[in-house]
Amino acid sequence: MNSICVFCGSSPGSDPAYAEAARLLGRTLVERNITLVYGGGHVGLMGVVADAALGAGGEAIGVMPKALVEREIGHTGLTKLHVVHSMHERKALMSELSDGFIALPGGNGTLEEFFEALTWAQLGEHDKPCGLLNVAGYYDPLLAVFDRMVDRAFLKEEHRRLVLVEEDPPALLDRFEGYEPPRTIKWIDAPET
């Protein structure tokens, strides 16, 4: 793995554990010679993970739509900041630049970006790992929803396993290193005739 895209909040959240996990993730990426690709902001967990990677001597590449540069306060100290025209362009470029996707705690934008990468994996558009850093149980309710999707036959178990989950950045990156994508991209069984 040469680069990993990290989706995370433009807020630090209410628990200091979120920022600590973002710092540890940034430093761990650098220890493993992995470039950080992220949304390009200088605020919230976005800024924390980027500052940690840069502070440890690593590279951080941001991708931000022009309309958000001022609102999310574009990070001025990055290795590179790509300013794009739209969110669609942002996600496409982040995907192109990355060998895997991790979501730290965040809000709607974090989940939307993660779910798009996860859906692309399910559809066979890429074979990159997708992981949730479940800091202080933040994603426990979402994991319960995934399990309910399987129970109610809206998600196959093999596609549920696309979501790699760990509480600690080194453990999640270890799972990324050994990741093998599912052998099938079929998600709907054909009806019997």
Alpha helices by DSSP H, listed for 85-168, are 87-97, 108-122, 140-151, 157-160
Q: Could you list the residue range(s) of the whole structural domain that residue 140 is in?
A: 3-177
Domain assignment of residue 140, yes or no: yes
pLDDT digits (tens, 9 = 90+) for 27-48: 999 999 999 999 999 999 999 9
We report the CATH number of the domain holding residue 79 as 3.40.50.450
Domain assignment of residue 183, yes or no: no
Residue 185 has pLDDT above 80, yes or no: no
Q: What pLDDT sits at residue 71?
A: 75
CA dist 162 and 148 (Å) reads 15
Domain assignment of residue 149, yes or no: yes
Domain assignment of residue 185, yes or no: no
Domain assignment of residue 190, yes or no: no
CA angle 86, 4, 37 (to 5 degrees): 40
Domain total for the chain? 1
Q: What pLDDT sits at residue 182?
A: 78
Domain assignment of residue 106, yes or no: yes
Q: What pLDDT sits at residue 38?
A: 98
Q: What is the pTM of this model?
A: 0.93
How many residues are given for the chain? 193
Average pLDDT over residues 43-68: 96
Domain assignment of residue 191, yes or no: no
